[in-house]
Structure 1
Amino acid sequence: MKVLFWDARAGEMKVKVETQDDLWVLYNVIEKGDVVYAKTTRELKSEKTGSKRKSMVLGIRVEWAEFQPFTTRLRVHGIVIEHPKEYEVHGHHTVNVDIGDELKIIKEEWAEHQLERIKNAVEKSRLGVILVALDDEDLAIGLLHDYGVEPIAESKLSLPGKMDPQARSQALERELSNVIGMLKEICSRHDIKVLIAAGPGFWKDLLADKLREGLKESKVKVYVEDASTGGMRGVHEALKRGVALKVLRDFSIVEEESLLSELLEKIATDPDKAVYGLDHVKKACEANAIEKLLVLDELLRSHEESLRREVEDLVRHAEQRKAKIKIFSSSYEAGLQLKNLGGIAALLRFKLPS
């Protein structure tokens, strides 16, 4: 999750949803009486044009929120209190919140545990990301923060002309060698896990190859993203294309695979320290024994309300007991394997009494 704006005195916070875990956090933060502003669509009727669905930002006073079955969406329902001047919108409305969406939440008073949830979600999304954008004229390095990109270095390449390809190639090698040296120091200082190479065509691919070769010992993962130009313009363009969300999605999948491997290994080698299936996990939660809880997203979006509420209560109780929670996507292999174990499992702090 990314906090885009926070005014403690006014009780206003604007956030960007980056993962499924963020949707779970918002589900537990947004409550009846809050005001939520978000981009949505609304069907409007006109005598001239008939019925048409229009895109707009609405403000609603929340009545309830729930996960929408069979989707990744969080549904927030309430009474419309503010709408664009050009449209007459009244009554109730439901906003669908999905990964990549932004919304503003206004509360009369934020509870400490709600702010703590947001803080933890923000910390979890901080991977340590550097963006490098290159073309035949400009190069820039930017460090990704919650609030934007901090320029670390910018330079003009001043390469020899294409009529002297050997001198041009040698000059480019020197420039890239200097960049690799600079990045090694930056990666170490800022605990960087991801490098994003951006630029037009040939340049981004060349940059990515050099980064992978020069930084292979640091185990930094290199991503490639299109941009029409180098320099800081290219850095910002790559971000607008959503590369940061791709990175977070990939790292979430890696985390799921790692946790599932840990669970399966524990089941095989130390079965008293792992449980799966709803009934067994509930007993472990009641005993305050859960260290890590693995939950399939389908359970939190089940069309069976009684099952959904039961799982929600279990996850909240585990959170209150300081368990680490990971919501698995049913779209990937680790989630499908967890589904075969009943969709919910836990790694335990200690063996449960017989």
Structure 2
Amino acid sequence: MKALQKNEETSLIPRTLEDLWFLTKIFNKNDEVSGYSFRRFKTDLNRAESGEKKKVFVTVKLDSVEFSESVNKLRLTGVILSGTPEEFVQVGEHHTIDVELDGKIVLHRLLNSYERAIIQESNKTSSETVLIVIIDERKALLAEVKAQGVKFKGEIHNPASKRQTKEFDSMKKQFYTELMGVLKNFEHRIVIAGPGFEKDSFKKYLIEKGFNLEKTSFEHCSSTEETAVYELLKNGLLEKIFKDQRIAREFKALEEFKLHVSKDDGYAVYGLKDVDQAAQFNAVSKLLVLDELMRKTEFQELISSIKDSGAEIIVFDSEDDAGKEFATFKLAAVLRFKLSY
């Protein structure tokens, strides 16, 4: 995501679908935002649907923010404050600005430390690569997917034929072994998909061979051609993967924190008073914070100072499972060293 802050304004340009989702964490109710949109210009007051759509530049005061996965748009709805051309804009009426990929939206304020961290996270996410394997009993099609697009890497063919009864098992094993070799050399997320049971058979083989499936998921698709990759993407595969990765990071940090709490070893604190005291001694290694606190002004200075000290900031989404579990703490820290009170 591209972000430029100037003259008390922030210009934002989402480059990927994940960026649109990240923007839902930045825009707040009553924020003032500006962007290009379309308004229906009514020439016949007796017909609500008459007239044509005109391109306008409008500023609205936000009522709601919605990421619509079905149409890959971020919908910003609010009351119109101003706009041009003035003859096509009715100040005081409600309007929705649809933010699409590579579309510019202007937020009429600067970002706080939490929101800057969100931008950094979005850029980190957009650089990740996912390997998609579409498999059936005849072949495996390979494709690398980044937020910027799809690159097909070729196919691995299965030499086994059911007509060759004696050689069938050994040839199928050869096919699986070659494919597993490719997967072992890939460091990022892997998705194995197919229309039938071959993906399940290959999964069983990987487990038998001790292949680490921690970063591997299995999905259904309707074909084994290149269109299957786009089918998976259209059905929200990337959003699901990146959300799963984020939740996994949240749970990992939460479990580390809870382990220190259960041991009572002095390497974990929670609550504003104790976290603030740890920050004064530059003792915070990881800060765990619920997203709702990040929006509160009284917490932003503390969080910003902890971030500047080099600590890792883990923001918990209050709507996911890890966030709901962490909600009892809201603010916590894992320490570099124990404090002596």
**TM-score (ref. length: structure 1):** 0.65
Return the alpha-carbon distance in structure 2 between the equivalents of residues 151 and 134 of structure 1: 14
Distance (Å, rounded) in 2 between the aligned partners of 1:118 and 1:233: 32
| Partner residue, 1:191 | 187
Map 1:133-144 onto structure 2 (within 5 A).
133-135=134-136, 139-144=140-145
- Aligned-partner SS, 2:14: strand
Q: Which residue is equivalent to 1:147?
A: 148
Sort the Cα spacing of 1:138 and 1:337 in 2 relative to 1 into closer, same or farther, 3 A.
closer
Q: CA deviation at 1:300?
A: 4.2
Which residue matches 1:265? 259
Counterpart Cα distance in 2 of 1:41 and 1:313 = 41
Q: Name the count of aligned residue pairs.
A: 313
Structure 1 residues 280-330: Cα deviation after superposition (integer angstroms, max 9, x where no partner): 2233334433221111234346xxxxxx22233433333233221112233
Cα separation, 2, equivalents of 1:23 and 1:149: 24
The 5-angstrom pairing of residues 58-137 of structure 1 reads 60=58, 88-91=88-91, 102=101, 104-105=103-104, 118-124=119-125, 128-135=129-136
Please give the per-residue CA displacement for 1:249-293, whole angstroms capped at 9, x wherever unaligned.
Answer: 222222222111111122233543221112322333344332211
Deviation at 1:91, TM superposition (A): 3.9
Q: Which runs of 5+ in 1 are unaligned?
A: 302-307
- Contact map agreement 1:299 1:311 (CA 8 A) in 2: yes
CA 89–145 in structure 1, closer or farther in 2 if over 3 Å, else same:
same
Paired residue type of 1:329: D
Q: Secondary structure at the match of 2:143?
A: strand
Tell me if structure 2 keeps the 8 A contact 1:25–1:118: no
1:219 to 197, 205, 212: 212
Paired with 1:219 and 1:187, the residues of 2 have a C-alpha distance of 9
Partner residue, 2:202: 210
* SS at structure 2 position matched to 1:133: strand
238-247 or 276-285: bigger deviation: 276-285
Q: From the superposition, tell whether residues 321 and 242 of structure 1 become closer, same or farther in structure 2 (CA, over 3 Å).
A: same
Give the equivalent residue in structure 1 for 2:71.
none
Match of 2:299 in 1: 311
Percent sequence identity is 22
**Contact residue 125 and residue 248 of structure 1 kept, 8 A:** no
Q: What is aligned with 2:8?
A: none
Deviates more, 1:255-264 or 1:172-181: 172-181
Gap runs ≥5 in structure 2: 5-10, 67-73
SS at match of 1:218: coil
1:255-334 correspondence runs (5 A): 255-269=249-263, 271-300=265-294, 308-334=296-322
Residues 297, 328 of structure 1: 8 Å contact kept: yes
Structure-1 separation of matches of 2:249 and 2:127: 14
Q: Contact 2:130–2:145 at 8 Å: present in 1 too?
A: yes
Pair 1:15–1:76, CA change in 2 (3 A): farther
Distance 1:296 1:121 in 2: 18
Q: Secondary structure of 1:318's partner?
A: helix
Query: CA–CA distance in 2 between the matches of 1:169 and 1:96?
Result: 64
- Pair 334,208 (structure 1): closer, same or farther in 2 beyond 3 Å: same
Give 1:244 deviation, angstroms. Answer: 1.7
Q: 1:142 offset after TM fit, Å?
A: 0.8
- Structure with more of its chain in helix, by fraction: 1
Q: Displacement, 1:336?
A: 3.0
Q: Read off the aligned partner of 2:201 and give its amino acid letter.
A: D
Amino acid at match of 2:333: A
Q: CA deviation at 1:230?
A: 1.1
Aligned mates of 1:213, 1:168 — CA distance in 2: 20
Task: Note closer, same or farther for the CA distance 1:124–1:244 as it changes in structure 2 (3 Å cut).
Answer: closer
Distance 1:159 1:57 in 2: 59
When residues 333 and 64 of structure 1 are mapped into structure 2, their CA distance, relative to the original with a 3 A threshold, is: closer
Counterpart residue number, 2:332: 345
Q: Which amino acid aligns with 1:278?
A: L
SS at match of 2:314: strand
Counterpart secondary structure, 1:18: helix
Bigger CA drift: 279-288 or 322-331? 279-288
Tell which structure's C-alpha radius of gyration is larger. 2
The residue aligned with 1:22 is: 22
1:305 aligned partner: none
Scaled by the length of structure 2, the TM-score of the pair is 0.67
1-structure distance, mates of 2:55, 2:76 = 15
How many Å separate the matches in 2 of 1:76 and 1:286?
41
